[in-house]
């Protein structure tokens, strides 16, 4: 488990402050924005239904690097532990995606 030390606390405080400052401007969008976690080689949730204009952020919580790739649509860099990748969906449609390092890992974003 991660233990909280002073440095972490300092960072968290800094982020909280930044979030507080940014909140008014981004509030409307933030309500729509969604997250996908990678835990134990699985995209969670494996399928998301979202509205056009939504930003999805993937976070790798495994000790092994993963990628997020949708052929011809988007491709993340290799995400090491706790790295994030965000993509804003501006067109409706079904976006199948997978991890190019572990192709048995697949997910779907349905945009309407």
Partner 1 sequence: MSGHDHGDDGVSRRKVLECMTWAGTGVLWTITGGVPRSLGIIDSAQAATAAAPGMTFLQISDSHVGFDKPANPNALGTLEEAVNKINAMPAKPSFMIHTGDITHLSKAAEFDNAERIISQTKLDVHYVPGEHDFIDEEVKLYRERYGRGTKGHGWYSFDAGGVHFIGLVNVVDLKAGGLGNLGAEQLAWLEDDLRGKSKSMPVVLFAHIPLWTVYPEWGWGTEDGGRALELVKGFGSVTVLNGHIHQVMQKVEGNVTFHTARSTAFPQPAPGAAPSPGPMKVEDAKLRSMLGVASVNFKQNEQRLAIIDTPLQG
Interface positions with Cu ion (CB under 5 A): 66, 99, 101-102
- If one asks whether residue 95 binds partner 1 (CB under 8 A), the answer comes out as no
- If one asks whether residue 108 binds partner 1 (CB under 8 A), the answer comes out as no
- If one asks whether residue 35 binds partner 1 (CB under 8 A), the answer comes out as no
- If one asks whether residue 100 binds partner 1 (CB under 8 A), the answer comes out as yes
- If one asks whether residue 96 binds partner 1 (CB under 8 A), the answer comes out as yes
- Segment interacting with partner 1 (CB under 8 A) among 12-20, 51-59, 84-92, 104-112: 104-112
What does 42 bind: partner 1, Cu ion, none (CB cut-off 5 to 8 Å by kind)? partner 1
What does 66 bind: partner 1, Cu ion, none (CB cut-off 5 to 8 Å by kind)? Cu ion
Between 33 and 74, CB nearer to Cu ion: 74
* Bridge partner list, 79: 66
What does 80 bind: Cu ion, partner 1, none (CB cut-off 5 to 8 Å by kind)? partner 1
The tokens for 89 are 């969906």
The tokens for 47 are 């399928």
SS3 labels along the chain = CCCCCHHHHHHHHHHHHHHHHHHHHHHHHHCCCEEEEEECCEEECCEEEECCCCEEEEEECCCCCECCEECCCEECCCECCCCEEEEECCCCEEEEEECCCCCCCEEEEEEC
């Amino acid at each position: 488990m991660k233990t909280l030390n002073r440095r972490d606390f300092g960072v968290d405080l800094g982020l909280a402050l930044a979030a507080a400052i940014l909140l008014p401007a981004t509030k409307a969008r933030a309500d729509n924005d969604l997250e996908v976690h990678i835990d134990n080689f699985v995209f969670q949730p494996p399928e998301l239904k979202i509205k056009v204009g939504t930003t999805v952020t993937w976070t790798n919580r495994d000790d092994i690097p993963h990628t997020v790739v949708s052929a011809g649509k988007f491709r993340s860099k290799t995400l090491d532990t706790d790295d994030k990748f965000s993509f804003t969906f501006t067109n409706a449609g079904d976006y199948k995606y997978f991890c190019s390092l572990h192709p048995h890992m697949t997910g779907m974003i349905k945009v309407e």
